[in-house]
């Protein structure tokens, strides 16, 4: 039954461990009720509770229990790794409620780690170019963004950053700006204590993180021309 998020079941992580050990469709189907009660249904409730809280906070992010979650099944068509199941479950809340938009909230509950993120991840070439131009031509706004995030105990991640400055930005010599222009993504993230996923207080933790990351959402939306 849908309702307010009450926490993931105590067997949520143990289920993922067992699934990772078996990696077997027969085992999964035999234990599907456990998956639904301990992990999937609570995740759906989390998405819908966050949607309500994000709306109240004016964050412009939403989702629902049908569209927001990624499937636990892996797409193995083009992968050498043929294990059928992921080691995690995750979801996206976005401006339009789909997984296709940019400027999103992401939450990930998994064996290796649990974390949340606010991201402009793999933006289109046009949007990425606009972001890089904004950094180069309005450095004071970008530096204000970095300062606001630092004040909120956040900083940009550097995963997948280019080793060389992209063509057309060779004139940008300030090291902080040049590094930023080499980013392929603009995102911040925060670890979630796995022991805390069983409590409804996880919602407050995730709302607090997203509010602290709001300067990043505002910056990207302004570049898009979609300021809230």
Question: Is pLDDT of 50 > 90?
Answer: yes
What pLDDT shows up at residue 1?
47
Q: What average pLDDT does the segment 157-168 reach? A: 95
> For residue 68, what are its two tokens?
């927001």
Structural domain boundaries of the chain? Answer: 12-224
> For residue 35, what are its two tokens?
């998956």
Length of the chain: 228
What pLDDT shows up at residue 133?
97
Architecture of domain 12-224: 2-Layer Sandwich (3.30)
What pLDDT shows up at residue 93?
98
Contact 118, 104 (CB under 8 A): yes
- CA geometry: angle 94, 96, 101, nearest 5 deg: 60
Q: Is 224 exposed, middle or buried (0-12, 13-18, 19+ CB in 10 A)?
A: middle
Between residues 81 and 53, the one the model is more confident about: 53
pLDDT in tens, 169-197: 999 999 999 999 999 999 999 999 999 99
Question: Is pLDDT of 228 > 60?
Answer: no
> Strand pairing partners for 91?
69, 107
């Amino acid at each position: 039954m849908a309702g307010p998020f009450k926490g993931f079941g105590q067997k949520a992580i143990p289920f993922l461990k067992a699934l990772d050990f078996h990696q077997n469709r027969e085992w999964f189907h035999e234990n599907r009720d456990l998956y639904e009660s301990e992990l999937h249904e609570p995740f759906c409730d989390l998405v819908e509770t966050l949607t309500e809280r994000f709306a109240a906070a004016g964050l412009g992010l939403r989702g629902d229990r049908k569209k927001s979650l990624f499937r636990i099944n892996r797409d193995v068509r083009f992968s050498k790794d043929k294990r059928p199941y992921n080691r995690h479950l995750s979801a996206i809340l976005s401006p339009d409620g789909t997984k296709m938009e940019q400027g999103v909230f992401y939450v990930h509950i998994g064996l290796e780690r649990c974390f949340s993120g606010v991201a402009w991840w793999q933006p289109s070439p046009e949007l990425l170019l606009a972001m890089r131009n904004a950094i180069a031509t309005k450095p004071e706004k970008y530096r204000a963004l970095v300062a606001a995030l630092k004040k909120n105990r956040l900083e940009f991640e550097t995963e997948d950053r280019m080793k060389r400055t992209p063509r057309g930005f060779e004139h940008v010599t300030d090291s902080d700006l040049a590094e930023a222009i080499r980013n392929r993504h603009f995102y911040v993230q925060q670890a979630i204590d796995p022991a805390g996923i069983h409590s409804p207080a996880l919602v407050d933790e995730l709302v607090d993180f997203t509010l602290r990351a709001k300067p990043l959402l505002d910056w990207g939306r302004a570049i898009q021309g979609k300021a809230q």
